Chains A and B, each alone.
Chain A
Amino acid sequence: MRPKSVISLFRKDLLLEMRQQYALYGVMLYVLSTVFVLYLTMDQPVAETWNALFWVMQLFVCINAVAKSFLQESRGRMLYFYTIASPSEFVIAKVLYNLLLMAGMNGLTLLLFVAFMGNPTDSGWLFAGISFLGALGLSLIFTMLAAIASKAMQQASLMAILGFPVIMPQLLLLMRLSKLAFSETFTAGADVGIVWLLLALDASVLLLTLILFPFLWKD
């Protein structure tokens, strides 16, 4: 694996995004209109509802944002990548790109949530940090699932079906952890334990992606 080709593949994704901005704006508009719908259906939810809505929102934004990362590659282009890069280079570039995308969307969602639905957290920065940790986990898992779903028909809906049972434990952990930002007291060390658990899960997802992606790659 050469870092150089990872970087150039990553730059290619970034460049494509800059050139065809409709996809990026599409996801941003999705975030905006969903938050707006939530805002219209309820005013200023209590902390627990706010937290739950935020994470469910993150889940759907992630599905929409990450899904297109493999869809936009046509067969011919995949064949071309196949000749110039190794599967692990290709998938790492995708993971990095999705991380960046998801981090951006996470920031946007957070901003809009605070703007429209108020800020019930006691420590906004802590919540922001936890949400970025969540964005990391979500984008890692859904990159692999997007790669799997891109081989099948009806990719977008399939991704949700494939992803939900797999993501549930992470989401539960994150919701639990984010209660830190709402001043809930944890037993000593439990919060750090959850962070390590999440990082270990992320590492194992990355490892599995590196092992399994080569099998999806050759057609």
Chain B
Amino acid sequence: MRKSWWKLLSVVLLAYAVIGGFLLPVPKIPQLQETIRNLYYHVCMWFAMMILFTTSVVYSIKYLRTLNAEYDIRAKEFAAVGLVMGLLGYATGAIWAAYTWADPNNPAYASFGSIAREPKLIGAAMAILVYFAYFILRDSVTDMDKRARVSAVYNIFAYAMLFPSIWIVPRLLPSLHPGQEGNPALNFNDIDARMRMVFYPAVIGWTLLGVWIATLRIRLHILSEKKWSNA
């Protein structure tokens, strides 16, 4: 019980974020209307993704310092859950864009070409491609120690390259996406006080849920590893 308080917290916060997210009042903005509630899901996914990827890199660094195989498993599973969060971020973003950005006179796929050029989408695409590549790299090395070492090196290298690009690219291209200069939703003036009441708990809730899933996967992975080494 003492150890699982954060899991309960996650459930409570998410229940609040979902119920409050649908029922609490939001500011009425002409272009957005009620779609503004998607902020509670869409932006939270990206926050959770970045936090999980960062955790993954921290474990990769720890792995290279200690060469303890458990850290490698942790790095891998955090990256995997981060990737799922990223894909969900894309999905929620696509729904949102379909109602706000896409040209209603054309079929949705006809707008894809112009929407995909969004700098924020490019940044997100890079993050997701990097971690897809990370998993392909992992699968293409057969030796276990070598796999752990090589993938940890790539994880750190790619992550370090990713961050400058997330700052740089938005400043090079025009954008419709909110939060042109810097990180959307982190700025206090950006977001209405009523929405902050739901938004911050939602971020914490989704991140905790991601961590929870990752820890379950890590335990499963370690158990199956033990099973194979004993068999």
A interface residues with partner B (beta carbon < 8 Å): 141, 144, 148-149, 151-154, 158, 161-162, 164-166, 168-169, 172-173, 176, 197, 201, 204-205, 208, 212, 215-216, 219
Provide the B147-167 mask, 1 if CB < 8 A to any CB of A, else 0.
001101110111011101100
B26 within 8 A of A: no
Q: Which residues of A contact B141 (CB under 8 A)?
A: 151-153
A173-B160 contact in complex given A166-B130, A212-B153, A215-B153, C-beta closer than 8 Å: no
B122-175 interface (Cβ within 8 A of A): 122, 125-127, 129-130, 132-133, 136-137, 140-142, 146, 149-150, 152-154, 156-158, 160-162, 164-165, 168-169, 172-173
Pairwise interchain contact A151-B150, C-beta atoms closer than 8 A: yes
A161-B64 contact in complex given A144-B157, A168-B126, C-beta closer than 8 Å: no
A172-B153 contact in complex given A148-B137, A152-B141, C-beta closer than 8 Å: no
Q: Of A154, A204, A205, which one neighbours B140 at CB under 8 angstroms?
A: A154
What is the size category of the interface that chain B forms with chain A? Answer: 20 to 34
- Distance in angstroms between the alpha carbons of A141 and B141 in the assembled complex: 21
A201-B153 contact in complex given A151-B146, A153-B140, A172-B172, C-beta closer than 8 Å: no
Pairwise interchain contact A176-B172, C-beta atoms closer than 8 A: yes
- Distance in angstroms between the alpha carbons of A162 and B129 in the assembled complex: 8
Q: Which residues of B contact A152 (CB under 8 A)?
A: 137, 140-141, 150
Interface SS of B by simple majority? helix
Q: Which residues of A contact B125 (CB under 8 A)?
A: 165
A-B contact pairs, 16 of them (CB 8 A): A144-B157, A151-B141, A153-B140, A161-B137, A165-B129, A165-B158, A166-B158, A166-B162, A168-B165, A169-B164, A169-B168, A172-B172, A172-B173, A173-B168, A204-B160, A208-B156
Pairwise interchain contact A148-B153, C-beta atoms closer than 8 A: yes
Q: Which residues of B contact A205 (CB under 8 A)?
A: 161
Pairwise interchain contact B154-A162, C-beta atoms closer than 8 A: yes
